[in-house]
Every structure is written in structure tokens, then in C-alpha cells.
Structure 1
Amino acid sequence: MAFSSDSLAIFLAVLEKGSFSAAARKLGRVPSAVSMAIAQLEAELDLVLFDRSTRKALPTSAALALEPQARQVICQLNLLDAQALQIHQGLEKRLSIAMAPELQTGRWSQPLQVLAQEFPTLEVEVRSATQAEAVQLLYDGEVQLALVFERPGIDERESFLEAGSQLLIAVVAPNHPAAQANGVPLAEEQFAEQRQIIVASGEPTGSEPRMVLSRRIWLTDSYLATLDLVQNGLGWAYLPQPLVQPLIDAGTLAEVRFDNMTSRLRLWIDLIWIKSRPLGLGAQRYLQVLRQVFEKDPMRS
């Protein structure tokens, strides 16, 4: 095999610097060693790579043709070295995060931009699950992190990071009875009888309890499905402000008006993990960056 990691580095250094002596200075070697390595490479390839008729080492057409692939191979070798080092330092193969559907419009994805740059080989999996399901996935070891609404009390088995808040708005279609009450806010008994659409699996208890207000419930498995049902006038729902505010402004959705409470519900968010399971390098870095994001602006959804 003519090319090795060493001969590739020398070949590309000569291409970049334009002379054997300049390449030698870059590599910390003597010029004769660089010249000899190129000569040996040319002999093994049976190709002339540099024109030595002048003081400069001018690349031949053969060298220029090999350059793109050589750079790609060096890049892959560097990536392999970096991955091996990261694995040695504790980088997991995959970072899995479960989150409640209502939180999918938040700032949780911003740290992933950093992870994509720093750990390009790290696989990332984001799983949508109701609040109860996300916590169960965490305890079952299916995910390392769970992004959920803040729960009452503290579970000693968990560690957590406060991750800002999410503003939810109670909305209906403009033609829904709850939106056509002649400006009169709905009394508690009235909105308790209006169909509410929530994101939960199997039972309404799978959702955040503070969001379940009606006696008549329809369930979906995503906030987009919920939004579609609401827009078709089939019920009202609490949905994330970033998702529905443009629709409210455009008049295609209306805010529900309650007589004894606000239609806007701000819930705090926690990112939780299990204390007894050490987090990998990717999860640790995700937590670090997420903490920085919310320290700058904790109230923003």
C-alpha cells in the first residue's frame, strides 16, 4: 500500500506549502526526509507527483487529481482518531431523549447544534411520549434524559435541571360555541362540559394534570393531531404558544375565555435523569449547553 497516514500528511503538506523545505518546517522534519518520502511514494505509485525543475515543488496533474481524495481520507482518519478519543473519554454511541409533545417547540434542540459539531459521530434519538411515558422510558433505560413538566415533590432517584418554561394557550376554532359566547367568559361548569382534546396515551392521566379540565375527553398522540381536531371545531385544547399564536393573530384560532382563570397556563420544565446511571460525554455536554441557554433567558418558551 503506497499511501499511509504519514505519507498522506507529507503529500498534502507539500501541496499546501509549495516546497519540500516549507513542508518540512510545518511537519517538524528535515527537508531531506520529506523529499525522500515523496520520492518513495512516487516510486510505489509509479507517478511523478511534483515537478522539481524549479526551487518550488509544483504539483503535476497526477498530484492534483489525487488531492481531493487524499484530503477526504485524512479528514476521515482525523474523525476516526477523534471518535476513538471520545469513546475513551466516555462518549456514548447514541443519546436518547424523551419529551412530552407539548415541549417539542421549545429550545431543547439548540444544544444539539453544539453536539453535532463537537461529536459528529454521535447518534441522537428524540422520542415523543406523554409525561408518564417519558418518565417510564427513563426508568426502563430506553432513554438517558427525559424532558417533562415539573412534577410535585422530589424523587430521590432522579437528578434534574430546570429547563425554562412553556406557555400553553387554551384555544378553539372561531366557529366553536366556546368562541361564540358573545364575549362572555365560560363558567367552570360550562367549559367542563365542552370537549377537550389532549395529548395522552390510553388515559387522560398520561398528560399533565393541570391541563385536564373537562369531563369529556378525546385523546391524540401528538400536538399536531390535536391542533387539526381543534381547527375542525371538535373541541378545545391547551397548545404551545409558539404553535398557536400565529393562528390566533390570523383569526383562524380563538383563545378560550374562562371566568375564574386565565386561558394561558405557564408550566415549568425539568430535564431529568437517573442518579445511579452515569451519563455519557454527549449527555453531559447537552446538559451543560442547555443550562447555558436557559441561564440567559429562563422565562422564554
Structure 2
Amino acid sequence: MPDRRRALTPDALEMMDTIARTGSFAAAARELGKVPSALTYGVRQLEESLDVLLFDRSSRQAQLTAAGEELLREGRRLLQQIDAVANRVQRVATGWETTLAIAVDTIIAPRAIFDLTAAFYALNCSDGPQAGPPPTRLRIRSEVLAGTQEALLSGQCDLAIGVQPLPQQAERLHCAPLGTIEMLLAVAPHHPLAGIDRPVSQEEIAHHRVVAIADTAQRMDRRTSGISPGQDVLTVPSLAAKLEAQIRGLGCGRLPEPLLRAHVEAGRLVVLQVEGPPTQVELHYAWRGGPGQGRALGWWLEQLGSEVTRRALLEQHAGLIL
């Protein structure tokens, strides 16, 4: 195996590619600036190392065998990958991270996240030998409640969008306000609570099943919101699932006001008045700071610094219209 690995060099693969492309050893030798005997010797060495015949010796042309065709096909793929890695390494050296992990709370509008992602990929980086999109690979993960904060605190992500305020003792972490979103109690038109035309009490709500999204935290204390002791609970994995469950009348629950607008207008949901002050959630975005901050994270933070972007993340829930 080591001999085979040493034989499959980029030079050997390029030699095979040139011979196949030009159709003869002589033409390939001229293109590569070598004598034909050097290519003949190189092919023989490669054949001995792999213990296969790569060219049909009965043909006057450089006719590949089936094994030679396979080596050519895979060799060209490997050469492309080698070039891509070389370009990627050189571009990463300009300050772009190899990977940027972003944790997004399910309360954040997915459409706005994908708008930002598309804008990121549309960037034209002139660093290095080739222009093109940033070399940074994005990893976007969905989290809920304390799980979003935990992803950042545990180092599983570099940027968290839609988190509660971070603990003050968190080192090398920075936090900035994203905005406030109002949560309204909503039910399907055929739900028993839908017929009440006055503010309902928490005691009345507690008699009905509530739909809740499961907190994704693994180590931190998981949080719950709007659930009374002893109340029946339907737990779902995402905001989209919670919305679907409530439209079907499977329970009641609070949903972001921007998400509710279209569904209330379409008659799929009814917003209830509730006794007591309105429920508002204060959201932030947080990131890992320190020396050598990458350009990809810097770009995302620049976008999050825009009030228009922050408002879109809290209000642009069109992607969840069913």
C-alpha cells in the first residue's frame, strides 16, 4: 500500500491526463517538456506499482485499458481536489475561518436567516489566486430556549442568535440586544377558548392543553414558559410544529405576534386577550470574541448591527405560513 501511495503523485496523475488528452506519448511529451521515453518509463513504473496495465500495448495510439480509464477518471477528480485545497488554504490564510457555526433559536424568522446566508455566499472575495465566495463553511443549527445559550457557552457554536442575556461571568463572550418580540396567546377557531370574548385568566388557560417547544439544552437547566402546574402539555420540536399543532386545535399557546398576523387574517387562528401585563421576550445575539476574530464572523456581526436586519430576524416569519 505505501508503494501505491507513493506512485500516485500529482505529477503521475497529470502525466496520465496529458497522455489521454493529447492521444499519444509523443504529443504529451512535447506539452510537458519531456522526451517520450521519460513518459514511457513513468507509465511503466506506475503500472508496476499498481500491478495493472494502464495502456493497451497492441494499439499504436495511447489507448487506455479499463483500469487506465478508471485511474484517469479518479485522477482527474483528485487533481481538482488538490487544486481546490491549495486555493482554500491560501484563502483561509487571508483571515477567513474554515468553519463558522451559528446557533439560531427557533423563535428567529428562518427566512431572514437564509437571506443573510445567501448574501454571505454572494460575497466576492478577491483574496488569493481566485475570486469567489468566502471559503468559510457555514454550519447553522436550530436550538430552543436554554439550548441556544448552551451551544455558545459550550463552544459548539461561534455565534448565537436569539439568546437570553448571558451570565456575567462568561469569559471572552460578547452580547448585544437583538430586540423585543411580543408573544400572544392563540388558539384555533374551533378551540373551546376561542368563544370567550373577554380577557381569560391563567386559571382558565390551565384547564386546557398547552403546546410547548422542547428546550434543546443538554447540560443546563431547561426552561419552560407559560405552563401552569399540572397542566396537560403537548411537547413539539420546533416553532413550525407548534404553529401546526395550534392551527389543528391540539392545544393553546403563545406565539410571536409577527408570525400570527397572516394566520389570524386567514382565520386559521384566534388571538385571545389575557389578564395581566403583555408577555414580551427580550432577545440578544452573542458571540465568541478574542484576538484574531475571523472575517466571516465579522461580516455576520456587521449585518446584525443593522436595525433593519434585526427587525427582519424578529418579524420576517413568512417562511412559516402554512
Q: TM-score, normalising length from structure 2?
A: 0.59
Q: Which of 260, 274, 292 in structure 1 is aligned with 2:306?
A: 292
Quote the residue 2:174 is aligned against: 159
Structure 2 runs not aligned, ≥5 long: 1-10, 12-29, 33-80, 124-132, 316-322
Cα deviation code 1:195-234 (max 9, x no counterpart): 221112479x634x5x424332322111121112212212
Distance of 1:193 and 1:278 partners within structure 2 = 54
Structure 1 residues 117 and 137, CA gap change in structure 2 (3 angstroms): same
Distance of 1:297 and 1:226 partners within structure 2 = 22
Q: Which of 222, 228, 253 in structure 1 is aligned with 2:238?
A: 222
Spell out the pairing of 1:1-301 with structure 2 (5 A cutoff). Answer: 44=31, 83-105=88-110, 107-118=112-123, 119-151=133-165, 154-157=168-171, 158-181=173-196, 183-201=197-215, 206-207=222-223, 211-215=225-229, 216=231, 217-262=233-278, 265-275=279-289, 279-294=293-308, 301=315
Distance of 1:98 and 1:202 partners within structure 2 = 11
> Quick check: 1:198–1:220 contact (8 Å CA) kept in 2?
yes
SS of the residue 2:177 aligns to: strand
Cα deviation code 1:241-263 (max 9, x no counterpart): 3332111011110002212233x
Distance of 1:251 and 1:123 partners within structure 2 = 41
Structure 1 residues 289 and 86, CA gap change in structure 2 (3 angstroms): farther
Deviation at 1:239, TM superposition (A): 1.9
Deviation at 1:87, TM superposition (A): 0.7
Quote the residue 1:40 is aligned against: none
Structure 1 residues 162 and 93, CA gap change in structure 2 (3 angstroms): same
Structure 1 runs not aligned, ≥5 long: 2-42, 46-75
SS of the residue 1:161 aligns to: strand
> Quick check: 2:146–2:216 contact (8 Å CA) kept in 1?
no
Cα deviation code 1:57-88 (max 9, x no counterpart): xxxxxxxxxxxxxxxxxxx9x99887445411
Structure 1 residues 206 and 105, CA gap change in structure 2 (3 angstroms): farther
Distance of 2:161 and 2:310 partners within structure 1 = 19
Distance of 1:280 and 1:85 partners within structure 2 = 15
> Quick check: 2:148–2:163 contact (8 Å CA) kept in 1?
no
Between the two proteins, the alignment pairs up a number of residues equal to 228
Deviation at 1:121, TM superposition (A): 3.2
Distance of 2:271 and 2:309 partners within structure 1 = 31
RMSD: 3.6
Q: TM-score, normalising length from structure 1?
A: 0.63
Deviation at 1:155, TM superposition (A): 4.2
Structure 1 residues 164 and 79, CA gap change in structure 2 (3 angstroms): farther
Deviation at 1:173, TM superposition (A): 0.7
Deviation at 1:149, TM superposition (A): 3.7
> Quick check: 2:211–2:246 contact (8 Å CA) kept in 1?
yes
